Amino acid sequence: MTEIQLDIREAQGADAAGVLAASQQLALETDFLLMDDNGLALPEALLAQELEALAEADNYMLLLALDGDTVIGLASIKGHNEHQLAHVGEVGISILKEYWGLGLGTILLEELLAWVSACGVLTRIELTVQARNQRAIGLYQKFDFVTEGCMKQAVQTKEGDKVDVLMMARLFD
């Protein structure tokens, strides 16, 4: 692979086409994510509206990793709207396969966690990860996420295998 021109920034409505293209490629490249082979099933105009609305939310962050103008990774923390869960955010990170192993997951997670610390809204960050995704589990453990439970045979692969899913979380003061 040639050297990448990495840019990390918050997603905006104008990024809808790139986000859709990345999600479609991700859906074909990995079954670590919970989506079908089509990726996000939203029209571009509707996704653009949603991205604009999300950029205004105080409990939601969607970061894009770009190589030039191409979206190569997505990282998000989605907070809950219910009062009882308003302090909880759910993490999601996905990177195009061509860019695995370059440290992008670390960069994206560092940015998300810095945002959590700065925003002061969320005090618990949680995620689910397939037990077979050792690279992702190692990343989360490096940033002090702990495994709180295991959902046995929670996901079925395209080949029909049943896979355990770990529940991991990190608390903030």
Q: Cα angle vertex 149, ends 146, 152, to 5°?
A: 135
Whose CA is closest to 63, among 110, 25, 97, 122?
110
Q: What is the pLDDT of residue 28?
A: 85
Pair of tokens at residue 10: 């918050």
Pairwise CA distance, residues 102 & 37, whole Å? 25
Q: What is the pLDDT of residues 104-125, one digit of tens each?
A: 999 999 999 999 999 889 999 9
Q: Which residue has the higher pLDDT, 30 or 24?
A: 24
Level-2 CATH architecture, domain 6-171: 3-Layer(aba) Sandwich (3.40)
Q: Are 23 and 39 in contact (CB under 8 A)?
A: yes
Q: Are strands 124-130 and 88-95 parallel, antiparallel or unpaired?
A: parallel
Burial 104-119 (b: 16+ CB within 10 A, else e): bbebbbebbbebbeee
Q: What is the pLDDT of residues 27-48, one digit of tens each?
A: 888 777 665 555 566 788 888 9
The structure's pTM equals 0.90
